[in-house]
Amino acid sequence: MDNEYSDGKLLLIDKPYRMTSFGVVNRIRGRIRAKYGIKKIKVGHAGTLDPLATGLLIVLTGKKTKEIPSFTGLDKTYEATFKLGATTPCYDREMEEENHKDVPNFTPDALEDIARQFTGDIAQYPPVFSAIKVDGKKLYEGARKGEKQEVKSRQVTVHSFDITKVELPYVHARIRCSKGTYIRSLANDFGVAAGCGAYLYDLRRTAIGQYTLDQAPEAYPDVWENQ
């Protein structure tokens, strides 16, 4: 049975906390199949969000999945919170804190100076706990086994990195960046530059190119309900 989803539809989803991007796609696919009696339908997303992140996820269905590459290359905008004074192996709060240090009484201007070091074209090392493949194996698979892995830096662009609020040890920022930028790595690098360590405490994606989170409806009742 053909319908608007098999013909091709773009959905703007506010991804919930703790759900994977694949989980969002899987839920939508399952509901389309159940509601419309479709045995097979393509559903994909344009840009992964980590489970601990929330916010805008573009989901494409049916014939529109062919357009996924044109969306994945768009710039992204995030509201991020870094926690200074500690690090974690995965660069976010999925794992326990380590390497605790005292946090200097940074002024907003001092933190802005640090942020400027990571604005523009930068070389960034992805987290070892990531899905990037090296020699056909995802980095996190080796990291979980404690294997030493060579992680190569990648060129990314941070168009803007603005400190929006300071509540030490928490620092809030608005970041607009290119495809492939890891905000977790940015948090870790920020902590190195600050001299006290840092990790990504909270992340919400607010825009992908011209698509913004406030454009996402409360729900697509037939295939998705924000929970």
What residues are annotated to the active site? 50
**Cα–Cα dist 109/86, whole Å:** 21
Token pair recorded at residue 166: 């300071």
**Cα–Cα dist 122/6, whole Å:** 40
Question: What residues have CB less than 8 Å from 14, skipping those under 6 apart?
Answer: 54, 55, 56, 57, 213, 216, 226
197: Cα separation from own chain's centroid: 20
**Cα–Cα dist 131/142, whole Å:** 11
**Cα–Cα dist 56/208, whole Å:** 7
